[in-house]
Amino acid sequence: MKKILKNASRQVKKHIFSIFGLLLLIIVVIYITKFSINLNSIISYLNSYQVLFMIFLTIIGWVTIFWLGLRQQKINLQNEARMRIYAELYEYRKKVTQKANELSVLLLEMSLPFMLMESTDIINEPITATKEANKQWRDFLENLFNKQQEFTNAYLGFWIHVEMWLGMMPELEKAKDILFDECNRVGKRIYEYHNFLQMYSIKEYDWHKWNKAEIQKAAYGISDDFSDVASGYVDDFMGLIHNELVADILNYHKGTRNIRHIKNKVKFLILTKDGIIEHEHIPNKKNT
């Protein structure tokens, strides 16, 4: 940003020097004219106000050009700043999406390592098998915890930079608060889910005695809930940022999020400036 302002200052100085140079040239021309024609001709020109009128028009023209140049320079600076802010926020959003995808895979019911743990019973002695199965469970929980932390760090980084530039898009304050409240809500749900899974390995060493149906029930729906927030709402919010910052510059306005691969009508929740609302996806004829 400092570099942009420095370049703008240079442009302003160039315009000022141009105007002073033009005025100096006009004065020189007047004096040359004064000494190259007779006195009667000078008086005649002055009486008709032609010279003064030409000088006045020239000054007005250059002042107008100077003002238009400054105005355009200001617009260019604002547009460049908006593009840079959008690019910066887009990079943070990409990190959120990447970490969300990595975490959502571990939240699926099929990601629970029961099949892997069962395979240890086939290839190992009972004592060794139980020990190996518990290690696989702990590794899964550790991976889940680490991926959750990575996602939390990513969305907090996104949140900090959105807060930093919120003055450029004040109309998105409500949507921003709702988005990060939802991120905190689903993050708390994942944390409780992790603790619930960890409880089994603490209370009972033999994993064969665990209530697998209860564990699988706890996993049901949590991945979808997380994806709705970390992917859906984040995409919606990034679309709102696009429309506030760069839509006029790019002459492209992002519409409401739709699900292209679904060929039937379906309703789902989206994030807007005014809050979370229900949206009905109507597929295009090309998709039907």
Say what the pLDDT of residue 5 is: 40
When mean pLDDT is compared across 43-47, 140-144, 178-182, the lowest value belongs to 43-47
Q: What percent of the chain has pLDDT over 70?
A: 75
Model's pTM, two decimal places? Answer: 0.74
Is residue 104 within 8 Å of 144, Cβ to Cβ? Answer: no
Say what the pLDDT of residue 267 is: 83
Is residue 103 within 8 Å of 153, Cβ to Cβ? Answer: no
Say what the pLDDT of residue 266 is: 79
When mean pLDDT is compared across 67-76, 84-93, 104-113, the lowest value belongs to 67-76
Across the chain, mean pLDDT equals 81
Q: Which residues pair with 278 in a beta bridge?
A: 269
Per-residue pLDDT at 94 exceeds 90:
yes
CA distances from 209 to 15, 118, 204, 213 (A): 83, 13, 7, 11
Per-residue pLDDT at 25 exceeds 80:
no
Per-residue pLDDT at 103 exceeds 50:
yes
Mean pLDDT of 244-250: 91
Domain boundaries, given as residue ranges, for the chain? 2-76, 102-249
Mean pLDDT of 154-165: 94
The model's pLDDT over 184-239, given as tens digits with 9 standing for 90+, comes to 999 999 999 999 999 988 888 889 899 989 998 888 889 999 999 998 999 999 99
* Confidence band, pLDDT 50/70/90 cuts, at residue 161: very high
Per-residue pLDDT at 147 exceeds 90:
yes
Mean pLDDT of 62-72: 72
